[in-house]
Amino acid sequence: MKKSFWILLFLTGAVIWYFLGIYRVDGTSMNYGLIENDIVITAKRFQTIRRGDLLVIRHPRDPKGRLYLKRCAAVAGDRFFEKERAFYLQLESNSTKTKNYAAHYDLEAVHTPFGYFLKEPYRKYYGVVHNRRLSVPPVLENLPLTTVPKAHYYTLGDYRDNSADSRFYGAVPRKWVRSKVIMLIKFPKEWNTLLRIKEVD
């Protein structure tokens, strides 16, 4: 083969490595939208993080230095709390905006002493799962009213009752975010295979 082919191949690989990350899903925290051995392709260079984005995060307090795949549940300025495992979100700490947003997009809004909050807004589009058969620690049951600080993101696993996420390590600063998912690769699975999916890690 010509030398130019190998140079082109090397440069293509370098560009892909610089801009993209490819990861295999391991663990149960994103069940059942993403399960073990599904593949995610991520962008390492991106400008914005929005609610609902899937993020690859390096958590510095993890002794093994593992990467976590979590969903951005709240951005800077948002307020949230959890009650009986349900997640409540107030956009930009603005009750009126949250109420109008709920009406426009047919989401459930709940009036609280702190104003209107969206109740479990991600269940409609992302298949967030609760497993009431699991006994969970208090931090997964209830959380006090919290405001996400500037340049931070509050991240949650979609399998809410078995996920090590911001409920344990807090909102993550931008520097913890390694990349953002831009493509999912899911392979067809037989019914019997799906029935054997792990419920807990």
Tell me whether residue 168 is in a domain. yes
Query: Across residues 139-147, what is the average pLDDT?
Result: 93
For residue 197, the model assigns a pLDDT of: 84
Tell me whether residue 176 is in a domain. yes
Query: Across residues 10-29, what is the average pLDDT?
Result: 83
Question: What are the CA-CA distances from residue 35 to residues 38, 69, 127, 138 (Å)?
Answer: 6, 11, 13, 25
Residue 80 has pLDDT above 60, yes or no: yes
Residue 52: name the closest of 126, 119, 143, 115 by CA. Answer: 126
190: domain CATH number is 2.10.109.10
Tell me whether residue 95 is in a domain. yes
DSSP 25-90: --SSTTTTTS-TT-EEEEESS-S---TT-EEEEE-TT-TT--EEEEEEEEETT-EEEEETTEEEEE
Domain range for 97 is 13-195
Query: Across residues 60-83, what is the average pLDDT?
Result: 92
Tell me whether residue 152 is in a domain. yes
Query: Across residues 8-26, what is the average pLDDT?
Result: 80
For residue 62, the model assigns a pLDDT of: 80
* Paired tokens of 66: 């593992």
Tell me whether residue 39 is in a domain. yes
- Using one digit for the tens of pLDDT, what is the confidence trace for 174-197? 999 999 999 999 988 888 888 888
Tell me whether residue 177 is in a domain. yes
Tell me whether residue 6 is in a domain. no
For residue 201, the model assigns a pLDDT of: 72
Say how many domains are in the chain. 1
Residue 132 has pLDDT above 80, yes or no: yes
E strand or H helix at 17, and its extent?
Answer: helix 3-19
Which pLDDT band, with edges at 50, 70 and 90, does 1 fall under? low
